[in-house]
């Protein structure tokens, strides 16, 4: 089975067994965002962790080494997402991408927010007009640096 086929099985098995993402993340003691991303095929899952998850989800143990390999990442089926929940984040990028870039440069200078040394959190926060989805992207600043191994 390829990683993509295993991902499809995981999605179906979780629903069939009525397991929440929270339960799965607690079973392996990992952050819930990381756990979901990994189970959706975006991160390698260490063998011990994979073995626990495979058993919980009723998957064959032959999936464990495939889950443990670094996957080919990139989870959106189209370059521009069509699902409304995901599209809003793409829209944020269209509307605020330029501003984010300017602010990073004015605060840190030339460079980027790492998407590798990175964590992400999704929280529910109250507000008188209705609860809010607060997504925090937290990545190390990486300054453009012209460095070489011989330096």
Active site residues: 88, 91, 114
Task: Say whether residue 107 binds its own copies (CB under 8 A).
Answer: yes
Question: In this structure, are residues 45 and 54 in contact, taking their beta carbons and an 8 Å threshold?
Answer: no
Q: Quick one: 55 or 94, whose CB is closer to its own copies?
A: 94
Q: How many residues bind its own copies (CB under 8 A)?
A: 104
| 29 lies in the site for its own copies, by CB under 8 A | no
Output 52 or 120, the one with its CB closest to its own copies. 120
| CB 68 within 8 Å of CB 5 | no
- Any contact of residue 81 with its own copies (CB under 8 A)? yes
The reply to whether 62 sits near its own copies by the rule CB under 8 A is: yes
- For the segment 108-127, give every residue that binds its own copies (CB under 8 A): 108-122, 124-127
Give the separation between CA 111 and CA 115, rounded to whole angstroms: 12
Q: Which is nearer to its own copies, 52 or 66 (CB)?
A: 66
- From candidates 28, 36, 53, 59, binder to its own copies by CB under 8 A: 36
Q: How far is the CB of 138 from its own copies (least distance, A)?
A: 5
Q: Give CA separation, 61 vs 46, 51, 58, in Å.
A: 13, 7, 9
According to CB under 8 A, which one of 48, 58, 60, 76 is a site residue for its own copies?
Answer: 76
The length of the chain, given as a count of residues: 151
Measure Cα distances from 120 to 7, 25, 117 in Å: 21, 15, 11
Backbone φ and ψ of 51, nearest 5° = -65, -40
Tokens 């799965």 belong to residue: 24
Strand, helix or coil for residue 110 = coil
Q: Which residues between 42 and 61 bind its own copies (CB under 8 A)?
A: 42-44
């Amino acid at each position: 089975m390829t990683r993509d086929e295993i991902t499809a099985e995981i999605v179906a098995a979780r629903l069939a067994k009525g397991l929440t993402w929270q339960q799965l993340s607690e079973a392996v003691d990992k952050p819930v965002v990381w756990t979901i991303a990994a189970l959706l095929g975006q991160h390698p899952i260490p063998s011990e962790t994979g073995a626990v998850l495979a058993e919980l989800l009723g998957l064959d143990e032959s999936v464990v080494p495939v889950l443990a390999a670094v996957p080919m990442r990139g989870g959106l089926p189209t370059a521009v997402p069509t699902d409304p929940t995901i599209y809003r984040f793409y829209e944020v990028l269209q509307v605020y991408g330029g501003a984010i870039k300017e602010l990073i440069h004015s605060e840190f200078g030339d460079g980027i927010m790492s998407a590798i040394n990175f964590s992400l959190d999704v929280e529910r926060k109250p507000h008188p007009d209705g609860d809010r989805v607060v997504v925090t992207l937290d990545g190390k600043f990486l300054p453009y640096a012209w460095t070489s191994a011989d330096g």
